[in-house]
Amino acid sequence: MTQVLEQIRRLARDHGGDLAFVVNHSGGKDSARMLGFIRAKFPDAPTYAVMADTGFEHVSPISAADFAHARCAEFGLNLTVVRHPRRTYLEMVEQRGMFPSPQFRQCTSDLKRGPIDKFIRSLPHNLIVNCLGIRSEESNPRSRLSPLTRNQNLSTRCRTVYNWLPVFDQTLSDVLAWHWRNAIRLHPVYVPEYHKDGSTGGYLRRFSCRVCIFSTDADLAAIHLHDRAAFDAVADLERKLKFTMRPGVSLVQIVEAHSSASIEEARQQSFCF
């Protein structure tokens, strides 16, 4: 990380010191950790916190945007919320007649990257470092990413843009420990073990859309229990489109199978005693 920081400082010098950071902020733990890191390392650089609202963000007990606004305010920053001008996540799925997939993440490109790219193009800086809260340990494909890469799409003759992953090397424990040490709140939908006292919290380990194409079976069972409106919205769309979010199996079937497996597991464990 020291090398990357040096590289960014060198780039800033090469661009006459006109460096600005754009921090992609979802309201989640990695975004907050990233914001704290950038403010600590580059306290004097203009820093823009921006959230891409997919229209399917958490709403309860506090909306993702309100929560993100409050976290940014703790670091002395305003949050800009950007959106696709014409459609939300569910509208996008309905209009396309299909769900995005991990291979073709149109939700990310249309509803997140697109509006944030537009925001970046509006900024008056020579050098912009676009910061994303991706951590290496999250998955194998993520671990193979480079922490600092030139963004060719957004770079022009007058503007150079780099994508940077400031928390790439941080583990989940590092991120949580930083929140606890600095008394930075975590959104209440996170599971109790993520919160310092462990006595409050919700049902999710990832902060994503209310139902995400990457939700695990256990996540979907938890969403079915705790956020039925979001679960039903996606399940209804599956029925209407005759297209399932996961290939070949509906959300309802996943949750039924998960519940049966959990009951069977509990039954097996009860025989052990």
**Phi, psi at residue 198, to the nearest 5°?**
65, 5
Pick from 64, 77, 212, 254 the residue near ligand SF4 by CB under 6 A.
212
**Span of 65-73, 212-220, 246-254, 256-264 interacting with ligand SF4 by CB under 6 A:** 212-220
Residue 108 found at the interface with ligand SF4 (CB under 6 A): yes
The set of long-range contacts for 243-252, using a CB threshold of 8 Å and a minimum separation of 24, is 243/97, 243/98, 243/99, 244/99, 245/99, 245/211, 245/213, 247/101, 251/211, 251/220, 251/224
**Span of 135-143, 159-167, 178-186, 204-212 interacting with ligand SF4 by CB under 6 A:** 204-212
**Phi, psi at residue 243, to the nearest 5°?**
-145, 125
DSSP H/E element including 235: helix 228-241
Q: Distance between CA atoms of 221 and 231, rounded to whole angstroms?
A: 9
111 or 204, CB closer to ligand SF4? 111
Pick from 107, 161, 186, 237 the residue near ligand SF4 by CB under 6 A.
107
Pick from 209, 221, 222, 223 the residue near ligand SF4 by CB under 6 A.
209
Pick from 20, 208, 220, 244 the residue near ligand SF4 by CB under 6 A.
208
Q: Distance between CA atoms of 20 and 179, rounded to whole angstroms?
A: 25
**Span of 77-85, 153-161, 170-178, 208-216 interacting with ligand SF4 by CB under 6 A:** 208-216
Contact track, ligand SF4, 237-266, x by CB under 6 A: ------------------------------
Going by their DSSP bridges, the two strands 127-131 and 79-82 should be labelled as: unpaired
Pick from 33, 71, 112, 224 the residue near ligand SF4 by CB under 6 A.
112
Pick from 213, 234, 235, 251 the residue near ligand SF4 by CB under 6 A.
213
Count of CB atoms situated within 10 Å of the CB of 95: 10
Residue pair 258/224 in contact (Cβ under 8 Å)? The answer is: no
Q: State the residues that interact with ligand SF4 by CB under 6 A.
A: 54, 100, 105, 107-108, 111-112, 208-209, 212-214
